[in-house]
Amino acid sequence: MRKAFRERNTSETQIRLELNLDGTGRFSGTSGIGFFDHMLHAFCVHGGFDLDLTMKGDLFVDAHHSVEDLGIVLGDAFGLALGDKSGIRRYGQFAVPMDESLAQCYVDVSGRPYLVFDASFDNPSVGAFDCCLTKEFFQAFAFHAGFTLHLLVPYGENDHHKIEALFKACAHALREAVTETGGGVLSSKGVLA
C-alpha cells in the first residue's frame, strides 16, 4: 500500500493530507484557492493519485504561504509513500498540449532534489492564484519529495492553459516514474540518493 499521511502546522498554515499513489484520481478538500484546487484536482485525475486535504492558510495575506506549504507537505507525502524507491521505473516524461500551449515534464525519482523551471506568464494572476506561485509550488514539491524535476512551457499564450498543462504533464510523468516494475532499485550504485 503506497500511502502516506502528513501534517504540518505553522503560524501561517495548518495542513493535513492523505495520499494514495495507487488511487483512482480523486481529490477531496480545498486549499481555499479556487484555481489551485482546480490544479490539484487535475493533478490527481491525470496521475491516478488520491488526495484528501484539510487545510487552512493565511489567505488574508496572500496565497503564497498556502501554495508553498502544500508543496512541502505533498512532497513529503510522496517521499514517504515511495519509501526506498525500489521496484519503480524511476524516470518519467510527458508532454501535454492544451489548446495553444504546450507543457513538458521530465522527472527522475532520484532522491536528489532539483528543479528546472522554464515557463513565463503574461499576467500576474489567474483568479486568486498568483502565476509566480506555480514555480514556488513545484520547487517545494520537488525538494521535499526528493525528485529531479524539469518543467518547460516552450510556447503558449493563455496563462490558465500553461499552468494547467504543467500540472497535467507533471502528473503523467510522475505516474510513469512511480509505476511498479517488481525489480530492485534502479541504480548502478544500488541506492537512490
- pLDDT tens-place values along the chain, 193 residues long: 899 999 999 999 999 999 999 999 999 999 999 999 999 999 999 999 999 999 999 999 999 999 999 999 999 999 999 998 888 999 999 999 999 999 999 999 999 999 999 999 999 999 999 999 999 999 999 999 999 999 999 999 999 999 999 999 999 999 999 999 887 665 556 565 6
Domains and CATH numbers, the chain: 3-177 (3.30.230.40)
Q: Could you tell me which residues are beta bridge partners of residue 172?
A: none
Assign 161 to helix, strand or coil. Answer: helix
Task: List the beta bridge partners of residue 7.
Answer: 16
β-sheet bridge partners, residue 108? 91, 148
pLDDT at 86: 84
C-alpha–C-alpha distance, residues 47 and 13, integer Å = 26
Look up the pTM and report it.
Answer: 0.94
Contact 113, 146 (CB under 8 A): yes
Alpha-carbon distance of 67 to 97, in angstroms, equals 24
pLDDT score recorded for residue 182? 80
